[in-house]
Chain A
Amino acid sequence: MLSVQNLHKSYQVGKTTYEVLKGVSLQVGEGEFVAVMGPSGSGKTTLLNCISCYIPADNGSITLGGEEIARLDEDELARVRNRKLGFVFQDFLLLDGLTVRDNILLPRIIAGQSDAAMEADADSLCDVFGITAIRDKYPAEISGGEKQRTAVARALINRPLLILADEPTGNLDSKSSRAVIDSFAQARHALGATIFMVTHDSFAASFCDRVIILRDGVVWRTLSKGEQERSAFQDTLLDAIREMGKE
């Protein structure tokens, strides 16, 4: 589904160059729920921004569904973002002037595929994520967890190949975090979505099939959940993080 090979990215601040990604390679299979963890400055968000082509990578390749997206031109990139990728941001990025339902419909409207079916799709997503009661409200009128579930529904409306989530629980309390993670799990099971999530939160990561831990711009370790219970996997993650801290 997603293949990242030898990805490099650096930033120039004044005369100093900071190399943030130093040759990251990873794979995400279809229907997988993968998290990326790591300390601040390890390159998690930069990796996500490169994969979504929000920022250009210096080197390396990013292949999505067999298509090399790092070399696409502006219009093709827009098409990929709209049809093949779904985004969930830490601060939701819902448009305040649109209702929950209209926000969910936005990717479809942008694609110019507005038909009667799209509203039915949006309503069914509202049902899946338990936000039917608030679908006619504006973002200012709903809670953080509801906003993020709306964002997840919006990310799924075009049935993308991959959902990219950047700290989706970063701005939420534990109850709302749980609801959002549940919505990801539901998206995977009910809709077969593939999810690639950047997070600091070991609890959120413990729901994933696999966790890639970054350190100083390289993949330090990849942990698979396998047959473990969620809580055991969370302990494994915490042990790994502790171990990384000691090195």
Chain B
Amino acid sequence: MRTFSEVYTALRRKNRGQYGLLAGCCFFSVLLITSYACMMRSPTILTVLPEGGDSRKQVMMVFVLAVIGCAVFTTYAAGLFFRQKSRETGVFLALGASRHQLRNELVRELAVLSLSACAAGAILGAPLAWGIWQCFRLLLVDSEEMPLAFDPQAYLLALLFSAYVVIMLFLLAARFIRRTNIIDIVQESHKSEPIHAVPRWYGPVGIVLALCGALLGYLTPSFFVRVLHWYAPGWVDAVFYLPTLLGLYMVLLHSVVNGWRRHKNRYKTIISDAMMKFQGRQTVRNMLVMALLIGGAYFASFYAPMLGSSMAHSYDTRPIDFAYHWRADQDIPERDEVQRLADEAAVEITAWAQQPAAVLGVDGTYSIETETGFGTTYTTAYAALLNGATFFSESAYNALTGQNINILPGTCANVLDDEGGSSYLSGGDVTHLTNMTTGKTLDVTPAEPLCYSLLLGCYVLDDADYAIIAAGLDHIYREEYVFFNVADAENSYAFAKALFYEIVDRSGPEVEVGDYYDDVSAAIAAQKGEPYDFAPENAAALGLDTIDYADRDSSAFRLYWKYMPQFRVLDKNDFITTMAVFLMLFVFIALVCFAAVIVIAFTRCMTIALTSARVYDDLRHLGAPNAYLFCAVRGQVSRVFVVPALTGTGLIWAFYMIMLYFNGIPYGFTGSELQGLATCAAVVTAISALLYLVYRLTRRSVCHALHIHT
């Protein structure tokens, strides 16, 4: 060995564990972020996630969490690396090495380590995402929409994160080299990271703060919009979640330093308590990251069960097996043709109801938005003719639904869902109706709303009023509604699919529109000589899903076609394939987040083990039996796993409850939401069991590293 570089190489070889840990953490972080970014920016995903929609926002939110988690994780790993390296650096300085010499060597090895780890992570990120996705396709579900495509722009995000990792490493290295006190540098690796006394009130106050933050963060945007008429910028809304973060940190601090159980004999856990306390600062930060990632992972995990339960509930409680409607100018199969298709499929039609409906212009208020430098404000204005809505006569409504309602002349009832909710989707009360063909108008007063999910958002008029206002309507403003049942609904899938395809095949290009399209609004725009934003040719520019008969099995078509039939057996059987991309995306996100949690927890536990090795040796010299040492290890490792798991799960559970309770008016939980929560509880149980398994494996590894028998 002749040169300083050779000395560095020899030390690197000897300390390859330290280098491996740092390189592994960088690689793993970049790998996760790249695969997540590839998935998030994939055209496959973007095609099905509506722009500005909740799903896309949720994906982005968990991505931000994952980025924060991975950033904190790599920064921690880098800090640990420099701490471990401080002893040899101190020796070099003490023996007369110049900082210039050290900087050269450190920069060279950090450059190789960080660039190769980041490059490997970035290169393998896309194949990892692709591999997982292919596994989903192979093992879980596959559909026409599932083939995965990548957008090279995703690599920009990977590049940005890699740049963060590299810059962070070099900044820490620069700070490390700049330190002047050699004694401090030499002793750095022996230093603990103690947390000073934490008052016991941190625990309960932390819980209250976390819950208040979740409540505040969720409700404040609605308050801004409804009361202040202000769409605040995203970061303003995000600020209100900060108490949650603070609360979470306080809860974790309290858990690490004080613990929640008041032992009668505090000496029972004195070793694990003391060791946790003296490595507390980094442990708490790691736990915070883990808790947030567990929260994000569960948030993603809950997507499939919540959606599945909600859809299953809606299919099961649907009173009609087959429901479809069409614009009166379309040549859509009616009773004879449907009967013929049913006969061919050996399906027995048991009840048939077909009734007309009218699309009328209605009054209402609309928003006039003003972009400001600080979000968007809006005012509302009234228009006597705002948009269109579907109207039934009371007898048509009774015939379709089997209900027996009586609407008083001069009144108009809005239809809500079966539980009397979803009023925000129903259109609300109207008072002024317009026949778009004749120009005739009718003033009505709102009546008590009706409940029938299949006709959510429609209106019902007194028969006489309906006859007056609907008279002379052009065919494009008339619709036909058909509801029918079959004898053996479970075995009618082939018939349902054939009928669905027949309906699509016979629908003309004039109705190849999304459910956002409104004939009345289109006519109003045409009268004013203005372009109609929601016309098929303009919809894509607004980020809306466009409808194409050629993609009749796509999720966009099934979810958003204005005249999409509601066939229970078709919806039920095709639910998984229709929603495959949505469901698998969130499963993927959960997988990525949980993988990150497991790696962080494992790394942290092994670090604790290594830094506590001397304490365990001393305990052994003092005569501590193996069982005692095992209990001490269990006390440490279990805390690293259990505390973030409990806080993360508890937090997301509370947040979900808040979200479901306040989602929709009236406030409360619907049957499907409760059913979904029960499924989510099963998911939590299954994942907790998995985490417990990882905890056991980690505990075994830690014991092995400390030569403690399990």
| B94 engages A54 (CB within 8 Å) | yes
Q: What residues of chain A lie closer than 8 Å to B227, measured between beta carbons?
A: none
Q: A74-B99, A78-B97, A93-B91 are in contact. Are A109 and B7 (CB under 8 A)?
A: yes
A94 to B186 alpha-carbon distance, docked (Å): 11
Q: What residues of chain B lie closer than 8 Å to A94, measured between beta carbons?
A: 91
| B10 engages A97 (CB within 8 Å) | yes
Of A57-65, A100-108, A183-191, A220-228, the stretch lying at the interface with chain B is A100-108
Q: A55-B183, A97-B10, A98-B10 are in contact. Are A87 and B94 (CB under 8 A)?
A: yes
Closest to B95 in A: A107
Chain A nearest Cβ from B257, distance in angstroms? 22
* Cβ-neighbour of B95 out of A74, A75, A87 (below 8 A): A87
| B10 engages A102 (CB within 8 Å) | yes
A94 to B88 alpha-carbon distance, docked (Å): 8
Q: A74-B99, A110-B101 are in contact. Are A97 and B91 (CB under 8 A)?
A: no
Closest to B15 in A: A97
| B95 engages A82 (CB within 8 Å) | yes
| A97 engages B11 (CB within 8 Å) | yes
Closest to A166 in B: B183
The answer, yes or no, to whether A80 is at the interface (CB within 8 Å) is: yes
The answer, yes or no, to whether A112 is at the interface (CB within 8 Å) is: yes
The answer, yes or no, to whether B14 is at the interface (CB within 8 Å) is: yes
Chain A nearest Cβ from B592, distance in angstroms? 36
A74 to B179 alpha-carbon distance, docked (Å): 12
A114 to B6 alpha-carbon distance, docked (Å): 11
Q: What residues of chain B lie closer than 8 Å to A112, measured between beta carbons?
A: 3-4
Q: A105-B1, A114-B3 are in contact. Are A49 and B96 (CB under 8 A)?
A: no
A114 to B96 alpha-carbon distance, docked (Å): 15
Closest to A164 in B: B94
The answer, yes or no, to whether B361 is at the interface (CB within 8 Å) is: no
The answer, yes or no, to whether B108 is at the interface (CB within 8 Å) is: no
Q: A55-B181, A102-B1, A102-B10 are in contact. Are A95 and B99 (CB under 8 A)?
A: no
Q: A54-B181, A93-B186, A109-B2 are in contact. Are A98 and B96 (CB under 8 A)?
A: no
Q: What residues of chain A lie closer than 8 Å to B11, measured between beta carbons?
A: 95, 97-98
The answer, yes or no, to whether A71 is at the interface (CB within 8 Å) is: no
Chain B nearest Cβ from A81, distance in angstroms? 4
The answer, yes or no, to whether B100 is at the interface (CB within 8 Å) is: yes
| B88 engages A95 (CB within 8 Å) | yes
Chain A nearest Cβ from B681, distance in angstroms? 51
- Interface class of chain B by DSSP: helix
Chain A nearest Cβ from B168, distance in angstroms? 25
Q: What residues of chain A lie closer than 8 Å to B93, measured between beta carbons?
A: 78, 81
Q: A54-B182, A95-B88 are in contact. Are A110 and B10 (CB under 8 A)?
A: no
Chain B nearest Cβ from A114, distance in angstroms? 4
| B95 engages A81 (CB within 8 Å) | yes
A154 to B96 alpha-carbon distance, docked (Å): 12
The answer, yes or no, to whether A111 is at the interface (CB within 8 Å) is: yes
Interface size counted on chain B using CB atoms at 8 A: 30
| A79 engages B1 (CB within 8 Å) | no
The answer, yes or no, to whether A235 is at the interface (CB within 8 Å) is: no
| B181 engages A107 (CB within 8 Å) | no
Interface core residue of A49, A54, A154 (most chain B CB under 10 Å): A54
Q: A95-B88, A98-B7 are in contact. Are A82 and B96 (CB under 8 A)?
A: yes
**Cβ proximity bits A6-29 to B, threshold 8 Å, 1 near / 0 not:** 000000000000000000000000
Q: A98-B7, A105-B1 are in contact. Are A110 and B97 (CB under 8 A)?
A: yes
Q: What residues of chain B lie closer than 8 Å to A154, measured between beta carbons?
A: 95
* Cβ-neighbour of A110 out of B4, B15, B87, B182 (below 8 A): B4
Chain B nearest Cβ from A77, distance in angstroms? 8
Q: What residues of chain A lie closer than 8 Å to B101, measured between beta carbons?
A: 110
The answer, yes or no, to whether B90 is at the interface (CB within 8 Å) is: yes
The answer, yes or no, to whether A173 is at the interface (CB within 8 Å) is: no
Q: A55-B183, A98-B11 are in contact. Are A75 and B94 (CB under 8 A)?
A: no
Closest to A83 in B: B96
| A79 engages B96 (CB within 8 Å) | yes
The answer, yes or no, to whether B92 is at the interface (CB within 8 Å) is: yes
Q: What residues of chain A lie closer than 8 Å to B506, measured between beta carbons?
A: none
A93 to B90 alpha-carbon distance, docked (Å): 9
A133 to B97 alpha-carbon distance, docked (Å): 29
The answer, yes or no, to whether A96 is at the interface (CB within 8 Å) is: yes
Closest to B92 in A: A110
**Cβ proximity bits B281-307 to A, threshold 8 Å, 1 near / 0 not:** 000000000000000000000000000
Q: What residues of chain A lie closer than 8 Å to B90, measured between beta carbons?
A: 93
Q: A54-B182, A106-B7, A114-B3 are in contact. Are A96 and B97 (CB under 8 A)?
A: no
Closest to A49 in B: B183
Closest to A94 in B: B91
| A-B CB contact pairs (8 Å), 13 listed | A49-B183, A75-B98, A80-B96, A83-B96, A96-B14, A98-B7, A98-B11, A98-B14, A102-B1, A102-B7, A109-B3, A110-B97, A112-B4
The 3 A-B pairs with the shortest beta carbon distances in the complex, nearest first, are: A82-B96, A97-B14, A114-B2
Listed in ascending order, the chain B residues whose CB lies under 8 Å from chain A are 1-4, 6-7, 10-15, 87-88, 90-101, 181-183, 186
Given A98-B14, A107-B96, 7 more A-B residue pairs with CB atoms under 8 Å apart are: A54-B181, A55-B183, A83-B96, A87-B94, A93-B94, A93-B186, A102-B7
